[in-house]
Chains A and B, each alone.
Chain A
């Protein structure tokens, strides 16, 4: 099924749900004001549901908006969810931020989302892109007086290469068919570049990776795991993390943010897509994801029963490093 057909399926499902009054709103994507910038959209009426769309640029994680709904809205909500989003919904249910009855999941198999920065780089940084359409395995990029076909696989987001579950793990209805669960990438490779380094070189690589960070917190705000009412970066007494762009403050922020995602991060890539500076934010979360899998055999959100790894323990947990 191509994107247009899936978009049509989403619109029909949304219209039906809203018309029958089964949900208060449908949370999906609509076209942005500029190309390659599909954005989250709350449809409250069947008419509004016509604005819903689906493409390879649906990079936001909609699970994030399930817990950041406008104040006073508590009714049932339908949400368009690909593999990672559904895993985050499972996570939110496990963390008691949502109940399963509260959400109607419109599942869609993820085509592997595209990275607009990679598209821009592929056609040339100085070119103005006026449209980008997917046609099967290709992306047709158009601008004033030119067009170019790119191989879809070459401009996919990094995290989509290493995805372990493209299909929604929970859904009330499925639009289109299920696809192959992975794109064939190896998730352990996310952390490999730094793991290969000599320990003495890692601190420099770490600093370099984050040197462009402007502390806008887009990575935090895009993340469906970050729902604390007061974030540690905003705490003042004691102040855990300075407000400046000094390397020490930037790195403290990223380390702690990543740690807070331990055993919870589904590698949805919303943080990297949201970063205006193109920072490889997943270098840290990817390492933690790998550790949690190796130490405790846990991958977040893949099933509804298992318990988050840092909220349980076993008598024989590894402890070789403890004297």
Chain B
């Protein structure tokens, strides 16, 4: 869509402190270029992420949500990401069932050494959300007050 070309999405990005946040840090110190559309939110572990957070992000105006943590087996808390994986599987299926475009919700496993994977994933996520345009999912339309 041509109208989306000037559209700059806002993407709530939840990063696990131990892996993806480190990966983002490494991408930064390595001077890797990536789109500025993500808003990084540091969480202790993807297992900390309640589905409530995802809905809250959409409610508060995020056009996309991206959740990223340690590869399975690498969790700082041994198994937090494995619980999270089950939760996200059910959540993603449920949100797509009620009409969320699949391109608005992203998950990835990025370790703190994978700065290039981080860079590529930011680009991928941003492009996917940009292509969909502004999100209306769960967003409250507040009428203008004179």
Contact pick for A202, options B91, B98, B138, CB 8 Å: B98
Interface 9-residue window, one of A131-139, A144-152, A312-320 = A312-320
Q: Report the number of A-B residue pairs with Cβ-Cβ less than 8 Å.
A: 108
CA distance A205 to B101 in the complex (A): 14
Instruction: Verify A206–B85 contact, CB threshold 8 A.
Output: no
Instruction: Verify B98–A313 contact, CB threshold 8 A.
Output: no
- State whether the Cβ of B94 lies closer than 8 Å to any Cβ in chain A: yes
Contact pick for A288, options B72, B94, B96, B136, CB 8 Å: B94
- State whether the Cβ of A200 lies closer than 8 Å to any Cβ in chain B: yes
CB distance from A260 to the nearest CB of B (A): 9
CB distance from A252 to the nearest CB of B (A): 6
Contacts of A195 in B (CB 8 A): 97
Instruction: Verify B55–A252 contact, CB threshold 8 A.
Output: yes
Instruction: Verify B72–A199 contact, CB threshold 8 A.
Output: no
Instruction: Verify B98–A284 contact, CB threshold 8 A.
Output: yes
Q: What mask results when residues 95 to 129 of chain B are scored 1 for a CB within 8 Å of chain A, else 0?
A: 11111111000111100000000000100100000
- State whether the Cβ of A255 lies closer than 8 Å to any Cβ in chain B: yes
Instruction: Verify B138–A248 contact, CB threshold 8 A.
Output: yes
Place the interface of chain B in its size category.
35 or more
Instruction: Verify A287–B99 contact, CB threshold 8 A.
Output: no
Interface 9-residue window, one of A66-74, A77-85, A122-130, A291-299 = A291-299
Instruction: Verify A252–B99 contact, CB threshold 8 A.
Output: no
Contacts of A242 in B (CB 8 A): 140
Instruction: Verify B59–A291 contact, CB threshold 8 A.
Output: no
Instruction: Verify B94–A255 contact, CB threshold 8 A.
Output: yes
Which of B59, B88, B121 has the most chain A CB atoms closer than 10 A to its own CB?
B59
- State whether the Cβ of A262 lies closer than 8 Å to any Cβ in chain B: yes
Instruction: Verify B98–A291 contact, CB threshold 8 A.
Output: no
Q: What mask results when residues 174 to 211 of chain A are scored 1 for a CB within 8 Å of chain B, else 0?
A: 00000000000000000100110001111111100000
CA distance A246 to B95 in the complex (A): 19
Instruction: Verify A248–B139 contact, CB threshold 8 A.
Output: yes
- State whether the Cβ of A227 lies closer than 8 Å to any Cβ in chain B: no
Instruction: Verify A309–B98 contact, CB threshold 8 A.
Output: no
Contacts of A315 in B (CB 8 A): 72-73, 82
- State whether the Cβ of A249 lies closer than 8 Å to any Cβ in chain B: yes
CB distance from A274 to the nearest CB of B (A): 22
Instruction: Verify A240–B108 contact, CB threshold 8 A.
Output: no
Name B's A-contacting residues (CB within 8 A): 51-52, 55-56, 59, 72-73, 79, 82-83, 85-102, 106-109, 121, 124, 136-141
Name A's B-contacting residues (CB within 8 A): 191, 194-195, 199-206, 232, 238, 240, 242, 246, 248-249, 251-252, 255-256, 258-259, 262-263, 284, 287-288, 291-292, 295-296, 309-311, 313, 315, 317-319, 321-323
The 4 closest A-B pairs by CB, nearest first: A203-B99, A202-B99, A313-B82, A323-B108
Q: Known pairs A194-B98, A252-B138, A309-B86. 13 more at Cβ < 8 A?
A: A194-B97, A200-B99, A202-B98, A203-B99, A203-B137, A206-B98, A248-B59, A259-B90, A310-B86, A317-B89, A318-B89, A321-B92, A323-B121
